[in-house]
Structure 1
């Protein structure tokens, strides 16, 4: 394969056009950003193709192409706001039609494209692939029917999508066993391997600062269990909860934190939704990152908690639930595990850490970064 433009399909948008309020997810865009950087480092350029539709109730937004980084452009399809349910469905259908047409017009059988797996783009990609015969690298973060209930048709479609792929990018070794039964070429990337420079932003107040950063989704339960650890920690500890969720989920976690703070000698605070530099500086002000999702969820068998890498890239020690996806990974030995899913056990694991001992998680992340740049180049060229 010659060096050139690699097309990368996914729900993505730039903050520059925030007023368009297009459908995208922070965790996905962060990982796409990193993979784009690795592809550029391997000698190629990247065109992100985003079928994201607007969540607005009015206005029409034209297709646009812009440069969003060195060697990276973003093409967003046209979309329109919609008040009524029927027009909301038509808005999605319009994005599918645009994506299908774009791929038919702009791809050929000699090229390889990457698609970030989503239930919402299966049909236009598979149909375009049948016509244009391009090679497909499918980036599978999780099997979505393991997380949420879908119709029998959509469940079947998801596995058809897996079968149509020529190569894969996986987040865990465990997904290989479930999806890649024909032993197609693949790469593994647990999350973002971007080592952050030291911002010198420690609190330096004599306390050990622990942070939970992630979803407030009660199904995954990570934020709730992290908050309930506070009553079992002494006064020289501080639990921070930051992250994202619906209005109801955010209100619920704030209320829980408020109730716990009334009686806990350990300080516990809700510190909001932080992004970019603000997020990085806040993580680096802390000492320990918490990955506390409920271990029984079926998604734990196939997905890797990306927050662990964010913590380690910023120099934090990590306290985590013990699940195979983490234990089997190359960073498994660098994580502190708690024995059972109780606040007492998590507090015990936290207090077992001596933050004055030498620790360098950044060096491990740096090695993973170097390896991924090499392996993504091989996956694209072979």
Structure 2
């Protein structure tokens, strides 16, 4: 581990930016139709339980990275295999978000630019920042969070002033009952974006005040959830369910409809900046976790040396992950949820906590 510390405020800011990241882009929980906001709310509430699991593991091993304490819990061989799985997951998730960024940029602003160029430029900046360490990531997050928050407030005011909101698009609530909403919550929104914060277990050992970890994580998830609920409520009330579902990037479509006093329009460029900031930090945190996880697992003295080779791997995975954007979204929302997210974000952490509980109980009683 590098000798660095971040404050609880920096952790809070990074978590909010991370959770909102690519989740603002896509029509989140749209399979629940008008009740998408409710599916996000349920997913957020259930994720708080898993957040307590992640925090308890950190509480048992406050000075160790997860790649180190899984070896203490499971033994050297099984622990190393699981640690490798998590490192691969962080890189895979980073490549998925990088692909989201490239597709958004190309479809919205630079249709003639090759996807590789867009992804490579962002990856170079991320590699540079990750090489500087967690303190630089934390301070950058504090600085850009205020800019993104200001954009959100201005955007909300402009949408309200434009008179675009039609609450009838949100009615009736629970038209098809509660079961479809629960299904979406437990198969989609629980994992994306809420339990993806398992990546922060790689950053918690750098926290300068460990006692504030639980409250900070809970508050960050709560604020992110409220923001995502508001975003989907606005998208559906402005565009309607059908248009929101058909749109690749509904938030951008919503912002494009803003027109105030016949001169304030085409504001989507400003909001693309906000989306890019969120995506930038989400990839940076996932990539940073992969770099320090790899360095701790293979005893590499200088983690920054790994940034370039691992960055290239993330870049090439983002290019080869799917042949088009529809395939990429299908893989993320339907395949990865069960194959990757369910075992790594839910099943394994609970099993690890049970084993750690038994082992630590033996120590205290022995």
Q: TM-score range by the shorter chain?
A: under 0.3
Bigger Rg, which one: 1
Q: Greater share of helix residues, 1 or 2?
A: 2
Q: Greater share of strand residues, 1 or 2?
A: 1
With normalisation by structure 1, the TM-score equals: 0.24
With normalisation by structure 2, the TM-score equals: 0.25
Structure of greater relative contact order (alpha carbons < 8 Å, 6+ residues apart): 2
